[in-house]
């Protein structure tokens, strides 16, 4: 049996464009003499369409795109992720399903049973669960098992803890299919690619069933789907691993059972880099931006964003704006100019000292003499820069990229309506220690200094007051990031974080800064954030602004 993986990049609501990609995938599969072509979950409408799935027009016309796809399947079988109306009186108005189409005929649908509502997922808000499980079709004498995403992710022999009592994939396996196909919209986060490989290989070996696992690819707002689709044979060997973060429409012969040479390479830092580049590229492209602008401070965060933006959009489409204030060091401008030269992008200098002096006089503020002495005057500099960047964005049609990292945003070390301005928060889910690692990775891959080492090694500073450094206000990033990572990504309690070897007082200090209402107020006004981890700031984490919860140390 020959199977084509159609790992395509879809756009929410671009039904004509998405269908065009599906048709192209079908034609490629036919040219490869494939028996089956498999597409990702809800690839016709876009999986992250959110409340569009409650729109009456969307529901009423949900099946119409299939009228274009069905005739194209003459001579092949296509499994396509889509939605279909719930015609019953009760329940959610749509099913999330796989359409099984063979030789110009719609054979039927397999509806999703398990509906996730954790992290970035909110399926029960839109979809009715399948209460009449049927996961098997017979095509040309072959029994084909099909499950939709979460229905594959509940194997009791793989997971220590499960979210659901039922296991639709196991129900399909018990019917002894010749192959089990899982269509997915599984977002990227750290460790996810390896996890999927382990999960698929384990289930294939345990069930002695070949498994085809096809995943969506592409950036949708801040959610990044990495693809990395895979096929395991009945011994549990991965015989095909599709590349991550790029479209992939290729075929493999299941019966050959030997590893395919195509696949993904690189470690987790490389994957983070690729996810960020794809996130910028797709957010700009899908929102009709061809050019970007950002503030270049001479620090490592803005240097990384500038470098990623040049990779994503082309250096000729990136503008870096340097906005020195009375407290900017000479090295910050020189270092920024060196980076710009290395990248080959455009730059300009827009000083804010004059406007800053004018506003100081108008508001009768004193100029800061040390960090924290006059926060209003410090923040005014950041907000002046925000005004300049938004004006350039507005005048030139450029996407403004925000440069703050997760460590700063988590504890509120940022200025609302200043450095938080932007259309996309590129590093909003990247810890400061990870920022340094990605910068070093870029230089290592290039075999030369793209990002000057002096920028990477420079002591972090907001430069809003004389001789100001982040370390004056924050714990050392390596210590703080360990706490933040355990709290956000693992959802550990303070005592569990302390058990990992973190200082008790520091742990409670950091967590109470994270959870302070004023800092939550800031975070909820951030631009869309590119997500690279579980339970990230943004759609993956929900907290009220107004609350009186506090972490108190146990005696």
Active site residues: 41, 112, 149
Alpha-helical (H) ranges within 135-260 are 168-173, 192-207
Please calculate the CA angle 129-131-134 and round it to the nearest 5 degrees: 105
Please give the C-alpha separations between residue 60 and each of 12, 16, 47, 219, in angstroms, as whole numbers. Answer: 17, 17, 17, 27
**Partner residues linked to 148 by β-bridges:** 183
Instruction: Determine how many CB atoms are found less than 10 A away from the CB of residue 488.
Output: 21
Contact assessment for residue 114 and residue 142, using Cβ atoms and an 8 Å cutoff:
no
Give the chain's largest Cα–Cα span: 84
CA distance 308 to 450: 11
Alpha-helical (H) ranges within 373-446 are 375-396, 406-411, 432-446
Cα 272 from chain centre: 9
Here the tokens at position 321 are 């704006």
512 phi, psi to nearest 5 deg? -70, -30
The strand pair at 292-295 and 318-322 is best described as parallel
Contact assessment for residue 452 and residue 335, using Cβ atoms and an 8 Å cutoff:
yes
Here the tokens at position 151 are 């229905």
CA distance 350 to 356: 12
- Ramachandran class of 372: left when φ > 0, alpha when ψ lies in -120 to 50, beta otherwise: left
The strand pair at 211-215 and 230-232 is best described as antiparallel
Exposed, middle or buried by CB within 10 Å (0-12, 13-18, 19+), for 52?
Answer: middle
Here the tokens at position 483 are 């706490």
Strand ranges in 174-306 using DSSP code E only, listed in sequence order: 179-184, 211-215, 217-220, 223-226, 230-232, 238-241, 248-253, 292-295
């Amino acid at each position: 049996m020959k199977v084509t993986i159609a790992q395509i990049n879809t756009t929410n609501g671009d039904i004509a464009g998405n269908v065009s990609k599906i048709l192209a995938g079908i034609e490629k599969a036919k040219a490869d003499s494939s028996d089956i072509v498999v597409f990702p979950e809800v690839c016709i409408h876009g999986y992250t369409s959110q409340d569009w799935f409650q729109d009456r027009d969307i529901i009423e016309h949900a099946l119409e795109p299939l009228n274009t796809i069905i005739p194209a399947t003459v001579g092949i079988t296509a499994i396509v992720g889509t939605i279909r109306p719930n015609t019953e009186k009760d329940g959610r108005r749509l099913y999330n399903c796989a359409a099984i189409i063979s030789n110009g005929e719609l054979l039927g649908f397999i509806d999703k049973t398990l509906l996730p509502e954790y992290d970035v997922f909110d399926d029960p808000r839109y979809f009715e669960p399948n209460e009449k499980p049927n996961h098997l079709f017979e095509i040309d004498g072959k029994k084909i098992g099909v499950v939709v995403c979460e229905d594959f992710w509940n194997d009791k022999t793989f997971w220590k803890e499960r979210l659901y009592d039922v296991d639709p994939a196991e129900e399909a396996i018990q019917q002894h299919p010749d192959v089990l196909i899982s269509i997915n919209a599984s977002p990227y986060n750290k460790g996810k690619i390896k996890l999927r490989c382990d999960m698929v290989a384990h289930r294939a070996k345990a069930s002695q069933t070949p498994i085809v696992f096809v995943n969506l690819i592409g950036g949708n707002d801040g959610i990044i789907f990495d693809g990395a689709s895979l096929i395991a044979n009945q011994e549990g060997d991965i015989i095909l691993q599709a590349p991550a973060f790029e479209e992939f429409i290729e075929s493999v012969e299941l019966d050959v059972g030997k590893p395919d040479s195509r696949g993904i390479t690189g470690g987790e830092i490389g994957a983070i880099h690729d996810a960020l580049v794809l996130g910028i590229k797709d957010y700009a492209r899908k929102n009709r931006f061809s050019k970007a602008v950002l503030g270049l401070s001479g620090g490592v965060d803005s240097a990384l964003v500038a470098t990623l933006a040049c990779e994503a959009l082309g250096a000729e489409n990136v503008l870096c704006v340097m906005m020195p204030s009375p407290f900017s060091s000479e090295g910050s401008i020189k270092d920024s100019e060196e980076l710009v030269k290395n990248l080959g992008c455009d730059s300009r200098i827009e000083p804010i000292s004059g406007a800053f002096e004018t506003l100081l006089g108008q508001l009768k503020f004193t100029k800061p003499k040390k960090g924290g002495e006059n926060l209003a005057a410090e923040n005014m500099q950041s907000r002046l820069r925000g005004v300049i960047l938004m004006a350039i964005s507005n005048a030139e049609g450029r996407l403004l990229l925000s440069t703050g990292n997760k460590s700063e945003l988590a504890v509120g070390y940022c200025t609302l309506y200043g450095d938080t301005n932007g259309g996309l928060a590129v590093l909003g889910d990247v810890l400061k220690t990870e920022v340094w690692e990605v910068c070093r990775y870029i230089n290592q891959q290039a075999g030369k200094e793209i990002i000057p080492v002096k920028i990477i090694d420079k002591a972090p500073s907001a430069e809003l007051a004389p001789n100001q450094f982040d370390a004056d206000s924050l714990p050392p990033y390596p210590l703080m990031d360990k706490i933040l990572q355990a709290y956000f990504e693992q959802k550990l309690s303070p005592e569990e974080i302390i058990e990992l070897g973190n200082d008790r007082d520091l742990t409670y200090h950091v967590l109470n800064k994270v959870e302070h209402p004023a800092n939550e107020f800031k975070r909820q006004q951030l631009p869309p954030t590119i997500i690279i981890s579980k339970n990230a700031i943004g759609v993956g984490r929900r907290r009220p602004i107004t609350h009186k919860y506090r972490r108190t140390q146990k005696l």
